[in-house]
Amino acid sequence: MKIEILDEVSSTNEYIRRYFASGEDRIVVAKRQTGGKGTKGRSFASEEGGIYLSALNFYSDFPARNAFYLMAHAAVAVCRTAEAFSLSSEIKWPNDVYLNGKKLAGILVENILENNMVKLSVTGIGVNVSNDVSGLNGIATSLSEETGKTIPVESALEILIGNLQQKFDFNDYLARVRFLKKEVSVVENGTGEQYTATAMQILSDGRLCVFRGEQEVFLSAAEISLKI
């Protein structure tokens, strides 16, 4: 797999689109992004010291119904990277990685489908390594902050790329989800409806099953937080 490292780019996810016609898997890494994007079009702080990576992968036989595995795989790869530094990480459904209740990484997967098959995917990953997250109101953390020592970005990047090239079982993802079998607060995307429910399981297609009272509800998109 080709790996391209840039000093600065607006967005690695946007930059890597120039290789869509190549048919060749590739990873693009930027030391800094000026227009990094997260889910729902949110901006993603991308100052030097973090990992800002996009992986382009092509597929010949990947059913679209299995597409959630790509997001789960990326989340596990990030968790395994944190674990390489003796840190215990958790996944907030569907794809954010947390350490000690603070966000370590965000993941954004974009797929191009053809005849109900995934033709190609772009997996964008941002990981806080040694970048300053003090201005994020205590909601984010970094590998360096959690270990109490400066982690070289190059070391974390090498481990992450290695993890991205490994295969993981879906149970590796489920084992790291932080709120299953617990009471959670739900805000449904689209309707904005808010309620309390018990998170039960995550299906292979990525839907979250919760019990709202006696009613079983399957969520495709919602904001979930542990009920305090």
Predicted pLDDT of residue 190: 81
Q: Are 146 and 99 in contact (CB under 8 A)?
A: yes
pTM: 0.91
Would you say residue 228 has pLDDT above 90?
Answer: no
Residue with tokens 């120039």: 18
Length of the chain: 228
Predicted pLDDT of residue 41: 52
Predicted pLDDT of residue 173: 97
Predicted pLDDT of residue 178: 83
pLDDT digits (tens, 9 = 90+) for 64-102: 999 999 999 999 999 999 999 999 999 999 999 999 999
Task: Give dist(CA 21, CA 180) in Å, integer.
Answer: 41
Exposure pattern of 72-98 as b/e (b: 16+ CB <10 Å)?
bbbbbbbbbbbebbebebbbbbbbbbb
In 3D, which of 45, 37, 51 has the Cα closest to residue 134?
Answer: 45
pLDDT digits (tens, 9 = 90+) for 124-183: 999 999 999 988 778 999 999 999 999 999 999 999 999 999 999 999 999 999 889 999
Task: Give dist(CA 224, CA 52) in Å, integer.
Answer: 25
Predicted pLDDT of residue 1: 87
Q: Are 177 and 75 in contact (CB under 8 A)?
A: no
Helix, coil or strand: residue 163: helix
pLDDT digits (tens, 9 = 90+) for 24-61: 999 999 999 987 655 555 555 578 999 999 999 999 99
Predicted pLDDT of residue 221: 86
